[in-house]
Structure 1
Amino acid sequence: MNMKNHQVSSFFVLFLVFFMQIGVGIFTFQKSIAEIVGNDGWIAILFSAASIMVIIRLIYYILDERMTIADIHTRFFGKYLGKVIDVFFILYFCLFASTIVVIYVDMVIIWVFPDMYHGILIFIMLALALLFTRSGFRTIMGLSVLTIFMTVPLLLYSNYPQGLLQMHNLTPIWNHSIRDIVVASREMTFQFLGFEVLLVAFPFIRNAKQSLKWAQVGVILSTCVYLFTYILAYLVFTENHLINIIWPTLSVWRMEYLGISIWLLILLPNICMYLWAASYLGKRAVGWKQKHWLIGLVILVLTSALLERRYFSLDEVQHIINTLGFYTLYLYVPFLTVLTFIFKKRMKRHEKKKRT
């Protein structure tokens, strides 16, 4: 396969990181953050964003050009154990895809179509995702760029209740402990997840190592969106009110029907990218054709979404994903970084011996 025909410019990493981090969590995250640190939630968002930028830097250190996480696993853990860990990441991406579907379907049923059967919406979303994912990585990236310019302005152009803004709600600044800030920063992990697809998409980025700056810019932009939505919600509602609202962004937005319907456009590339990453990783790890992996994984995500919707609450699903993502990013990625550092040191020593 000629990779150049399937690659995108390094600049598109900005969009990749940004649209993967702006998903369904933007409608609910204020509640969980406000319960922990109240008006200091914006500080926790900044702390979390800074740590994510460090993790992205580590990912770029781990990966070389045209390498995926499957190659890293084979290098450090061998052929068979490496494949076992690859399966974990395949299931990891599928779980995130199903969670996005479940949360969005819940939102549609509560706010727009309360009498609709959730299975129909789940099937429609995954059918659309399958259609676009089959077209490949470049198509998903093109869809993401288009939908970002269509949907993100909705957060800014809305009928916000300007007369109800209470500026004193944000004071006094830093009236919570460092421990509370750290706990709230961890709670923000779910919102910033998604950029891990870089572990699989690296070969599809032209001059991938040079795209680090664009990945960091993507984090900065998504951080600005989260800061805007958090501060706005906190200016409109009192803290005691905010922690009892399930969908704070929608409560402030005042564009529920139009906004929720159009937001599907930004969630669709999210789901597609997760499915693409899982199916391509399966292809690299096992060797089966990606289209066969894709069909099987869509069926798996459909089953998972139906089970999540039936047996778990929204808070339980988010807690599971948040915990899984947190340990994957903040424990496993640094662990791979240490192994990569040792490996590169040994390679340099080996090259020196060859020269001498």
Structure 2
Amino acid sequence: MEKEMTTNQITKFQLFFLLIQSQIGVALLSLPHAVQESAKGDGWISTILAGVAVQVMLVVYWQLLKRFPTLMYTEITKKVVGSFLGKLLNVFIYMNFMLVGGLATILFIKVINLWLLPLTPGWMISLLILTACIYLAISDLKIIARFFVLATSLILILWFTSVLSWFTPKEFQYVLPIGSSGIKNILMGSNNSLLAMLGFEALLFFFPFIIENKKGVLKTVSIANLFITLFYTYFIFITLISFSTDQLTQMREPILNLLRGISYKMIDRVDLIFLSVWMVPMATSIITYLFAASKSLNLEKKNHYRKAVVLNGGILFLITLIPNEDTIITLFNQYVSYLSYVVVFLIPSLLLVLSILMKKHEMSESR
């Protein structure tokens, strides 16, 4: 592990972009639809609250990782609770990354099928997507980080594309009065936003590879979380003031519907331009889950890791063969959400508490 870290290190600057690309994905396209079902016009508040929840967990991660600065998530579990229970927890961690990655790929395929390639078989789109993701995931983390830095520049294009939507009619009354949905509904909406922001847990695997002084890591990941929170809130807000509640209920991907109505003499179907660019951020989140799932197996040799990436990519392909009916995807999403809460929120919090109570840290080899 030490040899790999000396040849596979990243900077805090690269960590910033790794987290951004890990969190941004296909969920954003349908998030306004999901949030408004409970929070209505206060959906943008739900997203801000979700960002606060993510920040709390980042602080928990930071406190835990400070105690084990050279260990990854699945190594910390065995260090704190012992080999047997640690391996048992690692099974759930591995399953979570694989299932979330599978769900992200399924939703990716569904969007491409619906908006770009309606006549192309889903399995063919899945094969093309996963082949590209596997090709990059088998690379060193520093190579992945460099690609993510370049890919983040596309966000500027996405933002510029969204600015064009401000020339269409807007109704701010759709979000007024602020807070009218009630605290309960706003919190229910924040649950959907929180699930859309998943990907920040990759920090538990990126942290040991940071080459620089790790004192500024919390600041770096906090800025990344602030960027993601504002990015999501911005897109949800412009969608909420563009469509009524009844309209959003009938739209699967409201953001694409918003851009679909924009047309210029030299540019038509802005929504397809947006989606074509958005394919890269959707793919980067899958790459992150492939990386984390393969690293969670704690393989010693580099070639073993690459074989694991290919194998896990094959498993993701099999997962995407699940029938893509809405009822099946909804049920799949529900169970994956439960597992994600355990792996992303519950287990790290318990590990931190136990490590403090039992005075466990990386140098406590005898405990």
Q: Under a length normalisation based on structure 1, what TM-score does the superposition of the two structures give?
A: 0.91
Question: What is the aligned length?
Answer: 347
Confirm whether residue 111 of structure 1 aligns to residue 126 of structure 2: no
Confirm whether residue 143 of structure 1 aligns to residue 147 of structure 2: yes
- Check 1:94–1:15 CA distance in 2 against 1; reply closer, same or farther (3 A cut): same
- Check 1:140–1:308 CA distance in 2 against 1; reply closer, same or farther (3 A cut): farther
Deviates more, 1:263-272 or 1:26-35: 263-272
Secondary structure (helix, strand or coil) at the match of 2:146 reads: helix
Superposed CA deviations along residues 48-85 of structure 1, whole A, max 9, x for unmatched, are 11011010110111122111112211122222331222
2:48 maps to what in 1? 46
Secondary structure (helix, strand or coil) at the match of 2:181 reads: coil
Secondary structure (helix, strand or coil) at the match of 1:172 reads: coil
1:353 maps to what in 2? none
Confirm whether residue 317 of structure 1 aligns to residue 321 of structure 2: no
Unaligned 5+ segments in structure 2 are 261-269
1:221 maps to what in 2? 227
Q: Return structure 1 stretches of 4+ with deviation > 4 angstroms.
A: 284-288
Q: How does 1:206-245 map to 2 (within 5 A)?
A: 206=211, 207-245=213-251
| The one of 307, 310, 318 aligned to 2:322 | 307
Secondary structure (helix, strand or coil) at the match of 1:88 reads: helix
Deviates more, 1:152-161 or 1:120-129: 152-161
| The one of 26, 38, 42 aligned to 2:28 | 26
Superposed CA deviations along residues 167-194 of structure 1, whole A, max 9, x for unmatched, are 2222101112222222211121211101
Confirm whether residue 129 of structure 1 aligns to residue 144 of structure 2: no
Confirm whether residue 187 of structure 1 aligns to residue 202 of structure 2: no
| The one of 163, 169, 175 aligned to 2:174 | 169
| The one of 200, 218, 223 aligned to 2:205 | 200
Distance in 2, Cα, partners of 1:312 & 1:341: 43
2:97 maps to what in 1? 93
* Identical-residue share of aligned pairs (%): 22
1:88 Cα deviation (Å)?
A: 1.7
1:19–1:266 Cα contact (<8 Å) kept: yes
| The one of 343, 346, 355 aligned to 1:340 | 355
Deviates more, 1:15-24 or 1:4-13: 4-13
Distance in 2, Cα, partners of 1:36 & 1:343: 42
Distance in 1, Cα, partners of 2:55 & 2:204: 15
Distance in 2, Cα, partners of 1:244 & 1:42: 19
2:92–2:343 Cα contact (<8 Å) kept: no
Q: Give me the CA root mean square deviation.
A: 2.2
Q: Under a length normalisation based on structure 2, what TM-score does the superposition of the two structures give?
A: 0.88
Distance in 1, Cα, partners of 2:323 & 2:311: 18
Superposed CA deviations along residues 180-239 of structure 1, whole A, max 9, x for unmatched, are 222211121211101111112221112345311111111111111111111101111011
Higher helix content, 1 or 2: 1
